Structure formats: C-alpha cells, structure tokens
Structure 1
Amino acid sequence: MISYNTKEWFTFIFRFHRSDTVRKLFPIMIAIAFYSYAVGYAEVEYFKLSENNQIKNITIMHSMLGFVLSLLLVFRTNTAYDRWWEGRKLWGGLVNNSRNLALKLSVMLKDEHDKVFFRKTIPSYASVLSKHLRNEDTGKQLFDDVDLQIDHYKHRPNQVMKMMYSKINDLYTSQKITGDQLIVLNSELQSFTDICGACERIKNTPIPYSYSAFIKKFIFFYTMTLPFGFSLSLGYYVIPVVVFCFYAFASLELIAEEIEDPFGMDENDLPTPKMAENIKKHIEEIL
C-alpha cells in the first residue's frame, strides 16, 4: 500500500506512481485523441456541417446519460471501497485477536516450551493467511526462525489452526489448563477461522460480471459519441475535451477494479505481509 502525507495537496497533482491511471490509460487516450480528430475533421472540414446541423443536438443525450453514468460510477467505487475497508477491518481484528490469545496464554502457561510453540505458531497463521489470499506458494520456511510443514494441496490456514487446536487439547488433557480456560481459548481460536472465511468471501466473490461489463461498455460508447456532438461547437478543441472525459470516467473504473480485491499485489492493496510481521513482533514481546 502506498504511504503518503495527506496534507501535501499540490504534490499529488504532479507526482506519478506505478499504479497511476494515466500510465495505464495512456495508449487508449492516444487512440481516442486520433479518433476525436478524425470525427472533428470529417464534420468540420470534409462534410462542412454548420453549427445549426441537427447532429449538434446529440449533446442532449450526453447531458441526460452523464448523470446516470456518474451515479453508476459512484456506486461502483463505493462498493469497491467497502470491500477494501472490510478487508482492513478483518486484518485489524486478526492483529487484536492474536494479541489477546498471546496475552491469555502468557498468563495461563507456565512451561516455556509451550510458550515457544505459540510464539511461533500464532504469527505463522497470519503469514500463511497472507500468502493464501495472494495465491502464493507457502514454503516450509515462513519466518527466519519458524519451520512448519505445509501441504500445498490442502487448505493452508486450516493446517496451522489444526496445530494450535491440537496443542490446546494436549494442554487440557495434560491438565496444564482448566476446562474454563479451554473454553476461553477456544473462542479466540475460532475467531481466526472466522476472519479467514470472511477474507475468502471478499476474495472469491467479485463484482458481478454483467454489472462490471455494462459500466465499461457504457463508458466506451458514451465517450465515442462525444466528438459527434461537440465537434461543431468546439472544433479541434474537442480532442482534449473528449480525452479528459474518458480519463475521468475510466480512471474511476480502474480504481474500483484495483481496490475491490484488497489482498492482491497492486500498489493500493493491503500490506498483509507487513501486518503479519507486526503480529510476529508483538507476539514475541508478549510470549
């Protein structure tokens, strides 16, 4: 995720980064500029249409549909941001639940060997979940000092959680923790799986294809018809106007596409590996 100072307003205007929409849309913007020039040349120079020609009235359609398109894009970006923010809240919950589990275990457990197990396993769950959501291969080596045997063909976070459940059950059978303590720890462990399931729901349930495709088609046809209506009144100035309109509409769609999956590798996605490292640091301080 890009870190920046929100108060540096003017620097945003002249700064470009890898995920900037200008870089992604630049080839299409050039093509639209040539298209607008061709339409403007045909209407003004070749056919020599007057400003009173009926084709000028096509701008009425743009006025009506522009409002509809704006509403669709607002709904699209809000929906995508809700998914991004929900993912951030889930990982914030994972951080807090990891701390709570470590704090309770630090008080309940007396054997240092048992503490070492959870000191390694609790942060490993966050690391495995991060790789699981990014579809990355999880090797045996998770952190510099943590080794866990992970089967790539099975649900990887569940394997780590099974290790912790098995250890908690062994602690109970060996009477190192009481039945009441077992119930308390069970609710903490269950919250890990709940967070994993919620993250998978966000990742595996994209915006419906028909809705996303309709917005792209709407933007395309709306932009392609702009030169016909404005060439007679703007002349060749229609080229930057149409290019800018396309840039504004298409950028909103690209931003929504980027943040609707907050666990990916894009510039503005959540820094889940860094969060996993922070969890490791906090758990080692507690245990």
Structure 2
Amino acid sequence: MIYRHIENLKIMVQYNPKDWITFIFRFHKSDTFRQLIPMMIFIGLYAYGVAYLEMEYWQLSEKHNLKNLTLMHGTLSFVISLLLVFRTNTAYDRWWEGRKHWGALVNNSRNLALKLSAYLKDEHDRNYYRKLIPSYASILQKHLADEETALMLIEGLDLEIDDHKHRPNQIAKMLFQKANDLYVSGKISGDQLIVINAELQSFTDICGACERIKNTPIPYSYSSFIKKFIFFYIMTLPFGYVFSLGYYAIPVVIFIFYVLASLELIAEEIEDPFGNDANDLPTKKMAANIKKHVEEIL
C-alpha cells in the first residue's frame, strides 16, 4: 500500500557521540536507568536489610565465614562478564544484520526504479511501479512490526492486499506478474527482464532474512540462565561486602546491579531490531525514503 502521508515515523535517537556531558546527565525515555529504578530501590532495601542484620542484629565478627563470600564473587565476575559480552555482541550482530538488509532494500528499490525508468515508455506502466515498489517496503515494515491492518487497497490501483495472508509475498507476486506481462506484451525484451529479475528476487530474499532475525530469538534457556545468574549474583553480594564496606555496601550493590542488568536490557531491546523501541531500526523512515526516491525516478 502507498500511503497518502507518512505518520508517526519511528526515528532512532539522534545524538552527538562526542558530547559526554549530555550522555551523563540526560536520561532519555529509553535509558535503562529509568526502567531499572523500581528494581534498584528493591535491591537497595534488600542490601540495607542484610547490612542491618549482620551489623546490628546478629553482630557478626569480621572473622565470620560469610566474609569469604567475596571470593566466590571474584571468581564468578569473570564468568558473568564473558556471558554478557557474548550476549551483547550477538544482539548487536542481529541489529546490524537487519540494518544491512534494509539498506539493500533501499538500494535495490532505487536500482529497479532506475532500470524501469529507462525501459518503460507507457505512463500507466510507470505509474504502476511508481506505486507498487514503495508499497513493498511499507508492507514489509508493518509485517515485521506485527502491525495489523484491515483489507487494503493500493492507492490508484485496482488491487487488494489480504491482511490474513503473507502481505510481502502478495506485493512481490504483483511485481513479478507485471514484469512478465510487460515481457509477453513486448514492452520489454527478454534481456531486460533478466536484468530486473535480480532486484525483484532480492525483495523476497530480504524479507526472508528479516523474518529469520525476527523469528529466531536467543534460545530461551540461555536468556533465562543469564537473568537468573545476575539475580543470584546480586542477591549474594551484600553478605560479603557488608564486612568491608558496612552500609556503604548498599550503593555499591545497587551500582553493580545497574551495570549488569542494563547490559541485559540493551541486548533484549536490540536483538529484535524491527519493533517500536527507541533503539530499533527506523524502518518507517526508510520506507518513506524509498517512496520519495522511487517517485522522483519514475
């Protein structure tokens, strides 16, 4: 479908990577600090309870065996750092792969429009592709974001898109069918059909690659283990740290939780780059750019 106007374009966070002050003191709505505030308060109260019991109620001496619990944390810190590095790298690879596929969709849409602009002389045929090529990107964006739409009519064309079937495939079928009709009617030659076939085929290839990213998340057992590991690691920190830090262990434990949990939250957000989170790919904006460029060319 070609929209009369593009609404609510999802734009990634724009920022200056050299502006440290803004990074430190600005809290964007996607910042993990805001999301973790309730849990950080809970962790702080929990650490205070442990500190109070050890120092005031039980009055444990510094020779108590719980003091040696920090040895376990020192050993496990290396393990948890490896897990989180792998987690974030894997999530970023998925985000970047999605960006490359959408970049290919932009380029292939332009290339197809450029070739058809040279081949087609009939204004009706040019208008058909002027509307149908951008519609593939718009439909693919909705398909990947799981945005439901009713039965749609492509503007200016007597064609319908059934929302209950695979929507990108329906547009791809129309693109191939029109190209074959042009060849049968003699408006393009066999060689020209072969030339544009690469771009037509790439649309479905890109759709399949994006679906693979979206429909194949990190294995549940792996993601669940990391969350449990972080939780039990944090919950045992106060028992050992109180002996050396006293009540100062409370902000230390909160900070460690913030760092570890933030890494996991960031990985969760970017591993599916086609959603509506602030750090997801601006697929609506890219679809709008495809529409603009194809209309300029054709």
- What is the TM-score when the length of structure 2 is the normalising length? 0.94
Q: Deviations over 1:123-161 (max 9, x none)?
A: 000000000000112346688877852101100000011
Question: Partner residue of 1:8?
Answer: 19
Aligned counterpart in structure 1 of residue 213 of structure 2, from 202, 217, 234:
202
Q: Do residues 223 (structure 1) and 230 (structure 2) align?
A: no
Q: Deviations over 1:65-99 (max 9, x none)?
A: 00100010000000000000000000000000000
Question: Partner residue of 2:292?
Answer: 281
1:8-87 maps to which residues of 2 (within 5 A)? Answer: 8-87=19-98
Aligned counterpart in structure 2 of residue 192 of structure 1, from 192, 203, 210:
203
Letter in 2 for 1:15: R
Report the 3-state secondary structure (helix = DSSP H, G, I; strand = E; otherwise coil) of the residue aligned with 2:20: coil
Aligned partners of 2:24 and 2:55: how far apart in 1? Answer: 34
Aligned partners of 1:17 and 1:146: how far apart in 2? Answer: 43
Question: Partner residue of 1:243?
Answer: 254
RMSD: 1.4
How many residues were matched structurally? 287
Question: Partner residue of 2:128?
Answer: 117
Letter in 1 for 2:131: K
Shift of the 236–158 alpha-carbon distance from structure 1 to 2, 3 Å rule, reads same
Letter in 2 for 1:3: Q
Letter in 2 for 1:128: I
Aligned partners of 2:242 and 2:289: how far apart in 1? Answer: 57
Report the 3-state secondary structure (helix = DSSP H, G, I; strand = E; otherwise coil) of the residue aligned with 1:10: helix
- Between 130-139 and 78-87, the greater mean CA deviation after superposition: 130-139
Q: Please list every run of 5 or more consecutive structure 2 residues that lacks an aligned counterpart in the other structure.
A: 1-11
Shift of the 79–142 alpha-carbon distance from structure 1 to 2, 3 Å rule, reads farther
Provide the identity percentage. 72
Q: Deviations over 1:193-220 (max 9, x none)?
A: 0000000000000000000000000000
Aligned partners of 1:42 and 1:72: how far apart in 2? Answer: 33
Q: Do residues 271 (structure 1) and 295 (structure 2) align?
A: no
Aligned partners of 2:159 and 2:139: how far apart in 1? Answer: 10
Q: Please list every run of 5 or more consecutive structure 1 residues that lacks an aligned counterpart in the other structure.
A: none
Aligned partners of 1:278 and 1:15: how far apart in 2? Answer: 30
Letter in 1 for 2:49: A
Letter in 2 for 1:151: D
State the 4+ residue runs in structure 1 displaced beyond 4 angstroms. 139-148
